Amino acid sequence: MSCFHSISLDCPHCLKSEVGFTFVAAAPRKPGVKTDMPFQATYEAGAEFNTFWRCNVCGDGIVIIAKAKNKWTDSPSATKTFEDVFEKQQVYPKHYEPAVPKDTPLDIAELFIKGQEYLKTNDFEACALKLRRVIDLYVDKNKNKGEDVKAVINRLVADGEVAPCIAKWAFDIKYLESQTLHGFRDINPEEAQDFVTFTELFLTCIYTIPEMLKKRIKRPEQTSAEPGASRL
Ligand SMILES: [Zn+2]
């Protein structure tokens, strides 16, 4: 296989950096145009193609939109690389960027990002462990003397800071993760995905929304400090 058919990129699926991808297929970007790029075709400079590649590590695919740098009339030469001949316009999916709800403290955000990365690499137990630590760390930061996890979460519900369904999820995560830890059962991909979704909701409830509300509440106070000046 010539080097024309391989390329190095960060894989958005297995998260390995600068991993080899192997060319699988290509089609012109213009609907209705038929060209067998990059084998026997001739095409003009600027012709655009959707090219499909497969990661040599995990086997998952990406699409690169590629634009021909020059007019092309030959078969691809073994001495030329794909990047000699084509300019990369876009790569899909884009490199994986985990989402963290706004205003999450850095130490908790790092655990949440790690949990999401373990989900991407199909290590569901490690994912659950990291997400459980998100809850443990939050509880450690917020517990009063003598409170355990249950007491802290129940207090949050009683104070109206966390909805009862969110608290139930927090207990579910801790329960399932401890089941795995003791070897009673495995966590399946759907459960791990649910845990990520839930943890995102949990962080949004306890960090993002209260901060948003604080900013909203501040505004009328500031304007009412100057009587008569609040309405323009
Ligand atoms: Zn990969």
pLDDT digits (tens, 9 = 90+) for 158-205: 888 778 877 887 777 777 777 777 777 788 899 889 889 989 988 998
Lowest mean pLDDT among 16-25, 92-101, 215-224: 215-224
**189: CA distance to ligand 1 center in Å?**
18
Lowest mean pLDDT among 23-37, 82-96, 206-220: 23-37
**117: CA distance to ligand 1 center in Å?**
13
Other Cβ atoms less than 10 A from the Cβ of 51: the count is 23
- Name the residue with higher pLDDT: 32 or 84: 84
For the chain, how many residues are written? 232
**62: CA distance to ligand 1 center in Å?**
9
CATH number corresponding to 106-224:
1.20.120
230 pLDDT tier (thresholds 50, 70, 90)? very low
* 43: β partners: 72
Structure confidence by residue, pLDDT tens digits, 45-89: 888 889 999 999 989 999 999 998 887 766 656 567 888 888 999
112 pLDDT tier (thresholds 50, 70, 90)? very high
**213: CA distance to ligand 1 center in Å?**
41
The reported pLDDT for the residue numbered 231 is 44
The reported pLDDT for the residue numbered 186 is 81
**59: CA distance to ligand 1 center in Å?**
6
pLDDT exceeds cutoff 80 at 13? yes
Rounded mean pLDDT, 112-121? 92
User: 80, 68 in Cβ contact below 8 A?
Assistant: no
**221: CA distance to ligand 1 center in Å?**
52
* 48: β partners: 67
The reported pLDDT for the residue numbered 220 is 61
**15: CA distance to ligand 1 center in Å?**
6
The reported pLDDT for the residue numbered 229 is 45
pLDDT, the chain, mean: 82
**112: CA distance to ligand 1 center in Å?**
21
**131: CA distance to ligand 1 center in Å?**
23
Reply yes or no: is the peptide bond before residue 189 cis, omega within 30 of 0.
no
8 pLDDT tier (thresholds 50, 70, 90)? very high
Residues, CB-to-ion distance under 5 Å, ligand 1: 11, 13-14, 55, 57-58
**66: CA distance to ligand 1 center in Å?**
20
The interaxial angle of helices 149-158 and 164-181, nearest 10 deg, is 170
Residue ranges of the chain that CATH labels 1.20.120: 106-224
**88: CA distance to ligand 1 center in Å?**
19
For residues 135, 138, 142 and 144, what is the CA-based torsion angle, rounded to 10 degrees? 40
The reported pLDDT for the residue numbered 71 is 78
The interaxial angle of helices 124-142 and 149-158, nearest 10 deg, is 70
pTM for this predicted structure: 0.62
Per DSSP, the chain holds a count of helices (H) and strands (E) of 7, 5
- Name the residue with higher pLDDT: 56 or 27: 56
